[in-house]
Amino acid sequence: MSERLKIAICYSGQTRHFNKDPRYTQDFLEILDLFNEYDYDLFGHTWADHEDPHSEVLNKFTEYRRDDQGIIWDAIINLRPSPNKYFPVWTQFFQTKEEWYDKPEYMDMLKGKSDKNFIDFAKERIYGNIGQIWSAHESFLLTSSHWQQNMYSFVVKVRWDLMIKYFNGHEWVTTNKERFKDVLYNWSHKKMEWDRQVSSHSVNTSCLCSDDCIFEYNSTPYANDHLFVFDGPELRSKIINIKPVDLLTNMLYRYLGDSHNYPSLPSAHTLWMDWIQYAGFLVSPKLPNIFQANGPSEGKINKEWNI
């Protein structure tokens, strides 16, 4: 019987330019090589307005699915107003930005001088705001029928457009790849600082994130969202039995108990840590920050609207 831990690696988000150049496939394989000490199953999810990965990659996946982003709108349009509130809940799935009022196309739309109406605009902003987390949740759900046969020790959330950043040089990359593997091994095998017999300060960390985490008073911590690692049994119990819309809506209702007069979900990347904490994971920022997005940045609507 193999002593190698069984894990799930879940790719999600937009495939974007994945098929445009062979180097993006090499980036994909280099990321997988970080987990070469484990037996892994690959799961993948993306949106229907993006291409499937080419067959060389797609054939590696245990399960893969592509959905129309309209499933997000269909799920939230009929949500009931939150307790003691009298506004449609879908308006809370994105935040408007003050700088939008400096955009002529936004002002024209509000004044009825544009071919685009606010509902269509809101749909696009909602997809941009929660689409990444929604896709990740869907990729986690793809594992649900495989747990009985494979009790995954941990589950990795990773983006399609990911690469190792080399601007610090190859020596730095080699050192930090090994550090990444060491942290992951010690955490998954309960060694070193995670061994309660060794460290009196050991805690049951159930999520690892990168060590570029930012903390600010009265604000949700921020961590690079390129990759997260979740304890397998914890993810199974906290995520597999809840729909994406239900978890996000419950987060909104939670805000009503805080200082939010008109609560709304945080923007895209800052939403991740709030989602993780609300789901009940205990986070430790121990993984070296060795990742960056690959490929061109043009055409990314989120950047245009600062989401």
The verdict on residue 123 lying in a domain is no
User: With contact defined as beta carbons under 8 Å apart, do 16 and 295 qualify?
Assistant: yes
DSSP 179: H
Please give the structure tokens belonging to residue 170.
Answer: 């190859």
pLDDT tens by residue, 257-303: 655 556 788 887 889 999 999 999 999 999 999 999 998 866 566 66
Crossing angle for the helix pair 118-141 and 244-255, to the nearest 10 degrees: 120
In sequence order, what are the residues at sequence separation of 6 or more whose Cβ sits closer than 8 angstroms to the Cβ of residue 253? 82, 83
Please give the structure tokens belonging to residue 248.
Answer: 């996000």
The verdict on residue 10 lying in a domain is yes
DSSP 267: P
What is the distance between the alpha carbons of residues 85 and 127, in angstroms, rounded to a whole number? 24
**pLDDT in the model for residue 1:** 36
The verdict on residue 93 lying in a domain is no
In sequence order, what are the residues at sequence separation of 6 or more whose Cβ sits closer than 8 angstroms to the Cβ of residue 249? 76, 79, 89
pTM for the full predicted model: 0.93
| Mean pLDDT for the stretch of residues 246-260 | 77
User: What's the sign of the alpha-carbon dihedral 280, 285, 290, 296?
Assistant: positive
Residue 80: pLDDT band by 50, 70, 90 thresholds? confident
- Going by C-alpha positions, the residue among 179, 176, 146, 152 that lies closest to residue 164 is 176
The verdict on residue 199 lying in a domain is yes
Full residue range of the structural domain in which residue 58 is found: 6-69+131-304
Strand partners, 230: 155, 207
The verdict on residue 46 lying in a domain is yes
User: What's the sign of the alpha-carbon dihedral 300, 303, 304, 305?
Assistant: positive
Among the residue ranges 1-15, 28-42, 47-61, 198-212, the one predicted with the least confidence is 198-212
The verdict on residue 126 lying in a domain is no
How far lies 192's CA from each of 7, 41, 136, 167, 189, in Å? 21, 27, 30, 31, 9
- In the block, tokens 């994945």 appear at 18
In sequence order, what are the residues at sequence separation of 6 or more whose Cβ sits closer than 8 angstroms to the Cβ of residue 59? none
User: With contact defined as beta carbons under 8 Å apart, do 159 and 226 qualify?
Assistant: yes
The verdict on residue 276 lying in a domain is yes
Q: What total number of domains does the chain contain?
A: 1
The verdict on residue 121 lying in a domain is no
Residue 35, domain CATH: 3.90.550
Asked whether residue 102 carries a pLDDT value surpassing 70, the answer given is yes
Asked whether residue 2 carries a pLDDT value surpassing 60, the answer given is no
Q: Which uninterrupted H or E stretch holds 140?
A: helix 118-141
pLDDT tens by residue, 155-173: 999 999 999 999 999 999 9
